[in-house]
Amino acid sequence: MKSNVAIRGQFLDIQQLVEQAEHIAEQVRYLKDGLLLIQDGKISWFGEWQDGQQYVTDSFHVEHYPDQLIIPGFLDTHIHYPQTEMIGAYGEQLLEWLDTYTFPTEIQFQDRDHADKIAKIFIQELLKNGTTTALVFCTVQLQSVDALFEEAEKYNMRIIAGKVMMDRFAPEALLDTAESSYHDSKALIEKWHKNGRALYAITPRFAPTSTAGQLEKAGQLKQEFPDVYVHTHLSENKNEIAWVKELYPEQKGYLDVYHHYGLTGKKSVFAHCVHLEEQEWDCMHATNSAIAFCPTSNLFLGSGLFPLKTAWQKQVKLGLGTDIGAGTSFSLLQTANEAYKVQQLQGYSLSAFEAFYHATLGSAKALDLDDKLGNFNVGKEADFVVLDLNATVLQQLRQSTTKNIEEKLFALFTLGDDRNVFATYVYGQKVYQRE
């Protein structure tokens, strides 16, 4: 097989990061007839077909997608793979939803076969939705992490994941201890962090389910392994926030609990942040921590409306997350669709280009991977998606009325989902093709 790959077609990406939403449109790069050259999994050339065709020698395997739109792979900045089977669990808000549905679902990961089965389905769902990188919660059981990384390794995917640390307020079968969570996480870091494209995240579930002793251990791990990630939940639901204040009265607020134990920073990702207070926004900015905005989850659990405009004003890094299984779709297209509605309810009209930014380069920045992923710049890893904008009769009709790429993209976000993903490439190799 030829190891060099040349992809010809219509391309769309964002050339560089911006500090204000108003500047995104200036960074949109749209090539009607473009060429992407890939060598050893990385982008070696990108530009107009006319300018690049001279470089396409016999050593290249060439694929031409004249009717599709090729974009960087989506990055999902917050998702729980063990919750794949429980999407759409009825009737509860966060704390009751955890007790009623989530913990019983996660207990099943004691069984390695179950973990393998769900990991397989999960990775397939990511790929068929055009998601090539994700920051993933596993369960408290060590083997849940092995199951996921082993499955992702088959496709050479850049997955960030970690074992849940949780030593109180959950069923006995799901509890570790401060000590055991430290040793197990450490063993997993040594096994998986930077093993191929795998990366590790220290993953305390959220402040209520960790004792101070456990958060201290999490902070110790972060000190010992400064380049691993920290991944947790923050300020999702009003009852949750009140509970944290009761459990940690000595801290100034919810985020201050994590900050106190050294868990904020440029590789820290906090899911939700729906109800942050002023000083918490300032702390997020000052520590260069990132937010995973998860609109389908925030709507499904009735958690609240995330204020995207404030994130721009406060200059806090932000990516999109599906938060499966509180979230209701693996699709970042559908996630962008719901993000638009959540912002409409607050008088802010999220543009198609801004949504696209958050789902690609913005999420890459939130995951501190913008030097490797998020657009088609030379040297980056070749993870990308080939989209079909006309996957249904209704989409064809709607797209026939659009006048430019921005309108096409907005219609795609509104009506699109996994049916629009024609093919997915990871590290230059096609790993999914729609039937």
Residues forming the site for ligand GUN (CB under 6 A): 80, 94, 98, 102, 205-206, 233, 236, 297, 323, 326
Minimum CB separation of residue 313 from ligand GUN in Å reads 25
CA–CA gap between residue 392 and residue 434 (Å, rounded) = 14
* Shorter beta-carbon distance to ligand GUN: residue 147 or 385: 147
Q: What is the C-alpha R_g of the chain? A: 21
CA–CA gap between residue 154 and residue 122 (Å, rounded) = 13
Place of tokens 């009607």: 32
Minimum CB separation of residue 95 from ligand GUN in Å reads 8
* 106 scored as a contact of Zn ion (CB under 5 A): no
Q: Which stretch binds Zn ion (CB under 5 A): 268-276, 310-318, 363-371, 407-415?
A: 268-276
* Shorter beta-carbon distance to ligand GUN: residue 96 or 190: 96
The answer for residues whose C-beta is within 8 angstroms of residue 69's C-beta and 6 or more apart is 9, 10, 11, 12, 386, 387, 389, 408
Question: Two tokens at 108?
Answer: 């099943």
Minimum CB separation of residue 156 from Zn ion in Å reads 26
Minimum CB separation of residue 6 from Zn ion in Å reads 39
Question: Two tokens at 8?
Answer: 């010809």
Q: Could you say which of ligand GUN, Zn ion, none residue 98 binds, taking C-beta under 5 to 8 angstroms by partner kind? A: ligand GUN
Minimum CB separation of residue 47 from ligand GUN in Å reads 42
* Shorter beta-carbon distance to ligand GUN: residue 98 or 152: 98
Minimum CB separation of residue 104 from Zn ion in Å reads 17
* Shorter beta-carbon distance to ligand GUN: residue 34 or 204: 204
Q: Could you say which of Zn ion, ligand GUN, none residue 205 binds, taking C-beta under 5 to 8 angstroms by partner kind? A: ligand GUN
- How far the first Cα of the chain sits from its last, in Å, is 23
- For 115, 323, 385, the CA distances from 88, given in Å and listed in that order, are 20, 12, 27
Minimum CB separation of residue 284 from ligand GUN in Å reads 18
Question: Two tokens at 274?
Answer: 């729906």
CA–CA gap between residue 133 and residue 161 (Å, rounded) = 11
* Shorter beta-carbon distance to ligand GUN: residue 233 or 365: 233
Site string for Zn ion, 269-288 (x = CB under 5 A): --x-----------------
* Shorter beta-carbon distance to ligand GUN: residue 4 or 102: 102
Minimum CB separation of residue 231 from Zn ion in Å reads 9
Using the CB atoms, write b or e for 23-50: b if 16+ within 10 Å. ebeebbbebeebbbbbbebebbbbbebe
* Shorter beta-carbon distance to Zn ion: residue 8 or 317: 317
Q: Could you say which of Zn ion, ligand GUN, none residue 71 binds, taking C-beta under 5 to 8 angstroms by partner kind? A: none
* 323 scored as a contact of Zn ion (CB under 5 A): yes
Question: Two tokens at 286?
Answer: 């000052």
Neighbours of 154 (CB within 10 A): 10
Q: Which stretch binds Zn ion (CB under 5 A): 32-40, 112-120, 320-328, 397-405?
A: 320-328
* Shorter beta-carbon distance to ligand GUN: residue 97 or 422: 97
Which uninterrupted H or E stretch holds 137? strand 131-137
Burial of 19 per CB tally in 10 Å (0-12, 13-18, 19+):
exposed
Task: Provide the binding-site residues for Zn ion, judged by CB under 5 A.
Answer: 271, 323
